[in-house]
Structure formats: structure tokens, C-alpha cells
């Protein structure tokens, strides 16, 4: 572990060698020959570039890089095979998962086999962003207004709401029942907290098996609807109250859609992970160590799925699907106190079929889809990248980390088994569009491994804050949390 390197810096005695782009590419072509061509191009353009960068700038010994690639080529190949599918971030509202690279504890001591982690975090604020990155209310990330009349399109006299509108407009044909007069602006507030457990077992010097299970409590509160249409006929307080009451009643009775507050709690998805974490001591005055970290795992759909009968529903996992999380990164230790590096974190998720709400008319808006039908969803590719720097053991085993996290998800697609259905309308819906999110993560941690005399259980404590500051089509929770870990 890093504290051992600081106490007794190792001297690299293995044969030296230089990594050349052509040499690494030839090796990757042999190791990844059966992999898809798109993945081989990714290795050439990204992985090789990163390795050569650190080789040239920091003079990392070539044997370290080649030895690492040799040991993990099977992992590269497996990742290459699965990238033909889709990816999804599974934690609701951007909560940090217990195995997030930026908040995880240091690996176990050399003679320890087990590590137990307890994590809790609570949301103290949320930031929501529309298509242009403007800060909006969580219920306005897709549209600033919801067209209530569009939801009832095709129901005519069956709808109490339509009857009430026509009454105010002096009967059918009064000109009130159009797309500009049924506009209401919704507002509401998200909040929640998470408790999570993470257990690690070291079955080899550099290999760990991890088991993670989170529990969430989420709620949408203070939901209000305000009439913002053009017709002054509806501007009176009593009339607005009657309209809101009638369309909420009709939405519940006709479409089983609740347009008010809700609260859910339950398990998230169970994750089983294999981590490879290897340190390559460099024995130099400035460059002390290079650490490589790769991960591959599976999650199982133990979490609650999104309840489509709620407004702006949230799943407590991957919405009923198994996923395959994978990722990795590189850390470098410069001098006695400084570390920096990068990570990439992904979750592969297979498309699944479940009941979802879909539009049937152009005038219908995202929160007010009346039709609930079995729908198969293919998820767009998501990517989460982290850049960080950390000051180690500055005062009494305390360390401080600052990290930037970027999240991107490509457009999703839907399909339904309904003859003659308008797929253009279905897949141009705005809630399938790209999602981006930018976060800043601050972590203050205590690692007893830096102490001259420390307990064999190697206690570690981390206090972190996750701060969203930009994005599109996203609601992100600003959270504060604590993580405790012990070795056994």
C-alpha cells in the first residue's frame, strides 16, 4: 500500500526498457486480435497514448507497463467483447456508489485478507439542468411547462378535465381547449440518503473480490402545479384550483398516474466486483510509485425499479437489469506527499422490457404520458471519467483529495410491439436525449497506516462532499457522506 512506500521507498531493480508506440501496438494487436476493431482502435488511440505520455514525461520503466498489459490482456479482451452493448449509470440522482474510485479506501495491509466498509451519505441540495445547461426546477429539466390538455387528447367527454375546460369556455368550440391554454408549470424538490456496505477479500497479492449493497431513501416533495397558459379565463384562483384538482383526479382515475408527492425506500443493486490493484515502485526522488487499477464485475437487479405511475420516477438501481461494471485508471506518486491520477468508470447494462409510459400524440409532454405499455429499451453508452490530485499524510495521517468527475450518456432508444405505432414520435421524445453531468468531489481522509504504530485492523475514515455544478437533462444530488473501513 502507499503508506508502506512512504516509510521505506523501494528501489527498482528490474531491467530497464523503453516503451515505443509501435511496440505497444504490435503487442496489443496480438493480445486483442479477436476483439472488435473499434476496441482495437480505442486501445491504439487512448491506452497507448496514455502509457507513452507517462513513459516520456515521468520516465516510467517500460517493463512495468508491458508486464501489466501482459497480465491483464484477458480483461482487455472481455471488455472489447462487451462494448457492443449499452451502458448506464445505476445510482439514482447521481449518488456516489460505494465502490466509486474517488472515495474508496486504501487497499488492505499486506498480511490482511478482509476489509469491511460502511458508507452513508445524505443529500443536502439538488441541482437540475435543462437542455441548455440552465439551472431549473427538477420537474422542468425536459420542458418548462406541461400540456395537460395533450394528456387527455383522444378522450373527449370521458375526461372530467375536458368537460370543466369547456364549461369555463362556454361550451365546446369556445376556443379554450387548445395547446396554449392547458399549460401548467410543475415544481418540486428531490431529497434522499444512502447507506451502503462494501466487503473486500484479497485472494491474491493484487486481486480483490468485492461485494457491495446500498440502501436508498428518496422522496419528491412540495409538488405544485401553477397555471401558465394564455387564456385569462383560467387565471382566477378558484378556477385554477378547480382545474388542478380535476386533472390530477383524471390522471389518477384514467391513467393511474399520480401527479403529487411520493416517497420510496429499498435496496439498490447488489454488486460483485473483481479488482486488480498493483503498485510498481520506481525508486526515484520524485516519482515514487505507479499504481494501476482495473475492475470487472456484475450487478444483480435487487433494487427497486422505477414506478411508472409516479411523476418523475427514480429506479434504485439499473431498473431491473443486470449490469457489468468495468473500469480502471492510473495513479502516480510524486515525492513524499503528492499523488494524482485518472479513472474511467462504466456500467454495461443489457436492454430490458418493462412497462413504460410513452407518447401517442405530438402535443403530449414528458411528465404527462398517458399510455403505459410493455417497452424494450436500449440504453445509450455512458462514460464517467475522473481526474484527481491528493496530498498524502500532511498532518497526523490526514490526506485531502480534490477530484473532477464528468458523466456522459448517449441517446437511448425504445421499441414496442404494437402494429402501426409511430416510432418517430416514440424515439424523438426528449427524455431519451443525451445526459451530461459535472461534479467536484472533496475527500478528507484519515489512514492509520501512516502512523508509526497503528492497529492491525487498519482503521480508515473518510469524509466527502459531492458537488454538482453543470450538466444537461440531469438532476444531481449534492451529498455529504462518511466512510469507515477496517481490515481483518
> Which cell numbers hold the place of 186?
410543475
Q: What average pLDDT does range 33-40 have in this prediction?
A: 45
Sign (positive/negative) of CA torsion 359, 365, 370, 376? Answer: positive
Per-residue pLDDT at 452:
77
Among 18-32, 253-267, 309-323, 366-380, which stretch is predicted with the lowest mean pLDDT? 18-32
Q: Report if pTM > 0.95.
A: no
CA max distance for the chain: 92
Contact indicator for 443, 480 with CB cutoff of 8 Å: no
Residue 21 has pLDDT above 90, yes or no: no
Q: Can you tell me whether residue 123 is helix, strand or coil?
A: strand
Among 108-112, 278-282, 385-389, 429-433, which stretch is predicted with the lowest mean pLDDT? 108-112
Residue 7 has pLDDT above 90, yes or no: no
Contact indicator for 272, 298 with CB cutoff of 8 Å: yes
**pLDDT higher at 459 or 165:** 459
- DSSP states along 171-186: STTSS-SSTTTSEEEE
Domain ranges of the chain: 1-84, 85-487
Q: What average pLDDT does range 412-437 have in this prediction?
A: 85
Per-residue pLDDT at 182:
72
Contact indicator for 313, 343 with CB cutoff of 8 Å: no
Q: What average pLDDT does range 223-235 have in this prediction?
A: 73
- DSSP states along 190-241: EEEEEEEEEEEEEEETTEEEEEEEEEEEEEEEEEEEEE--S-GGG-SHHHHH
Residue 424 has pLDDT above 60, yes or no: yes
Per-residue pLDDT at 98:
87
Per-residue pLDDT at 168:
53
DSSP 308: T
Confidence of residue 27 (pLDDT cuts 50, 70, 90): very low
Among 158-162, 223-227, 396-400, 412-416, which stretch is predicted with the lowest mean pLDDT? 158-162
Per-residue pLDDT at 86:
36
Contact indicator for 61, 280 with CB cutoff of 8 Å: yes
How many Å apart are CA 49 and CA 55, to the nearest integer? 10
Confidence of residue 163 (pLDDT cuts 50, 70, 90): low
How many Å apart are CA 388 and CA 439, to the nearest integer? 12
Residue 430 has pLDDT above 70, yes or no: yes
> How would you class 47 by CB atoms within 10 Å of its CB: exposed for 0-12, middle for 13-18, buried for 19 or more?
middle
Condensed to tens digits (0 to 9), the pLDDT of residues 471-483 reads: 999 999 999 999 9
> How would you class 453 by CB atoms within 10 Å of its CB: exposed for 0-12, middle for 13-18, buried for 19 or more?
exposed
How many Å apart are CA 195 and CA 203, to the nearest integer? 27
Residue 309 has pLDDT above 70, yes or no: yes
How many Å apart are CA 137 and CA 92, to the nearest integer? 17
How many Å apart are CA 392 and CA 406, to the nearest integer? 24
Pick the CATH number of 85-487 from 1.20.140.10, 3.40.1010.10, 2.40.160.40, 1.10.10.410: 2.40.160.40
Confidence of residue 332 (pLDDT cuts 50, 70, 90): very high
Q: What average pLDDT does range 207-227 have in this prediction?
A: 95
Q: Say how many Å lie between the first and final Cα of the chain, rounded.
A: 15
Q: How many residues does the chain have?
A: 488
Q: Write down the residue that cell numbers 376556443 correspond to.
A: 175
Contact indicator for 152, 369 with CB cutoff of 8 Å: no
Confidence of residue 71 (pLDDT cuts 50, 70, 90): very low
> How would you class 188 by CB atoms within 10 Å of its CB: exposed for 0-12, middle for 13-18, buried for 19 or more?
buried
How many Å apart are CA 125 and CA 71, to the nearest integer? 44
Q: What average pLDDT does range 113-130 have in this prediction?
A: 95
**CA of 216: how far to CAs of 58, 192, 284, 311, 439, in Å?**
43, 7, 46, 18, 20
Phi first, then psi, for residue 290 (nearest 5°) are -125, 125
When the pLDDT of each residue in the chain is averaged and rounded to a whole number, the result is: 79
Per-residue pLDDT at 161:
62
H-assigned helices in 261-343: none
Amino acid at each position: 500500500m502507499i503508506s508502506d512506500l512512504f516509510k521505506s521507498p523501494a528501489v527498482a531493480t528490474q531491467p530497464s526498457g523503453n516503451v515505443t508506440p509501435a511496440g505497444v501496438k504490435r503487442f496489443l494487436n496480438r493480445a486483442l486480435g479477436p476483439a472488435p476493431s473499434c476496441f482495437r482502435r480505442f486501445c491504439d488511440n487512448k491506452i497507448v497514448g496514455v502509457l507513452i505520455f507517462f513513459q516520456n514525461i515521468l520516465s516510467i520503466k517500460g517493463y512495468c507497463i508491458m508486464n501489466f498489459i501482459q497480465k491483464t490482456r484477458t480483461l482487455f479482451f472481455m471488455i472489447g467483447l462487451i462494448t457492443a452493448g449499452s451502458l448506464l449509470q445505476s445510482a439514482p440522482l447521481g449518488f456516489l456508489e460505494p465502490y466509486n474510485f474517488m472515495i474508496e479506501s486504501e487497499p488492505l495491509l499486506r498480511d490482511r485478507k478482509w476489509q469491511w466498509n460502511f458508507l452513508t451519505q445524505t443529500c443536502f441540495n439538488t441541482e437540475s439542468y435543462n437542455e441548455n445547461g440552465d439551472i431549473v426546477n427538477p420537474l422542468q429539466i425536459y420542458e418548462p411547462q406541461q400540456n395537460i390538455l395533450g394528456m387527455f387528447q383522444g378522450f373527449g367527454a370521458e375526461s372530467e378535465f375536458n368537460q370543466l375546460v369547456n364549461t369555463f369556455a362556454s361550451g365546446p368550440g369556445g376556443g379554450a381547449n387548445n395547446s396554449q391554454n392547458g399549460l401548467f408549470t410543475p415544481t418540486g424538490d428531490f431529497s434522499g440518503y444512502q447507506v451502503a456496505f462494501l466487503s473486500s477479500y484479497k485472494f491474491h497479492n493484487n486481486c480483490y473480490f468485492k461485494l457491495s449493497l446500498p440502501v436508498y431513501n428518496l422522496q419528491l416533495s412540495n409538488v405544485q402545479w401553477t397555471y401558465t397558459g394564455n387564456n385569462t379565463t383560467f387565471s382566477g384562483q378558484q378556477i385554477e384550483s378547480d382545474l388542478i384538482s380535476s386533472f390530477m383526479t383524471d390522471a389518477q382515475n384514467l391513467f393511474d398516474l399520480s401527479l403529487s408527492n411520493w416517497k420510496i425506500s429499498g435496496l439498490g443493486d447488489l454488486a460483485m466486483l473483481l479488482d486488480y490493484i498493483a503498485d510498481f515502485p520506481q525508486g526515484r526522488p520524485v516519482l515514487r510509485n505507479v499504481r494501476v487499477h482495473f475492475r470487472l464485475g456484475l450487478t444483480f437487479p435487487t433494487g427497486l425499479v422505477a414506478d411508472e405511475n409516479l411523476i418523475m420516477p427514480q429506479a434504485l438501481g439499473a431498473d431491473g437489469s443486470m449490469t457489468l461494471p468495468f473500469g480502471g485508471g492510473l495513479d502516480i506518486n510524486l515525492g513524499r506527499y503528492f499523488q494524482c491520477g485518472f479513472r474511467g468508470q462504466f456500467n454495461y447494462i443489457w436492454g430490458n422490457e418493462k412497462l413504460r409510459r410513452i407518447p401517442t400524440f405530438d402535443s403530449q409532454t414528458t411528465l404527462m404520458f398517458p399510455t403505459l405499455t410493455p417497452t424494450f429499451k436500449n440504453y445509450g453508452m455512458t462514460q464517467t471519467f475522473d481526474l484527481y490530485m491528493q496530498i498524502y499524510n500532511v498532518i497526523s495521517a490526514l490526506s485531502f483529495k480534490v477530484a473532477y468527475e464528468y458523466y456522459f450518456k448517449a441517446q437511448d432508444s425504445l421499441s414496442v410491439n404494437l402494429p402501426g405505432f409511430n416510432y418517430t414520435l416514440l424515439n424523438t421524445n426528449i427524455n431519451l436525449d443525451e445526459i451530461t453531468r459535472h461534479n467536484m468531489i472533496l475527500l478528507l481522509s484519515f489512514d492509520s497506516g501512516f502512523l508509526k504504530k497503528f492497529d492491525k485492523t487498519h482503521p480508515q475514515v473518510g469524509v466527502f462532499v459531492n458537488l454538482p455544478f453543470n450538466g444537461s437533462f440531469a438532476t444531481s444530488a449534492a451529498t455529504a457522506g462518511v466512510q469507515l473501513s477496517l481490515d481483518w
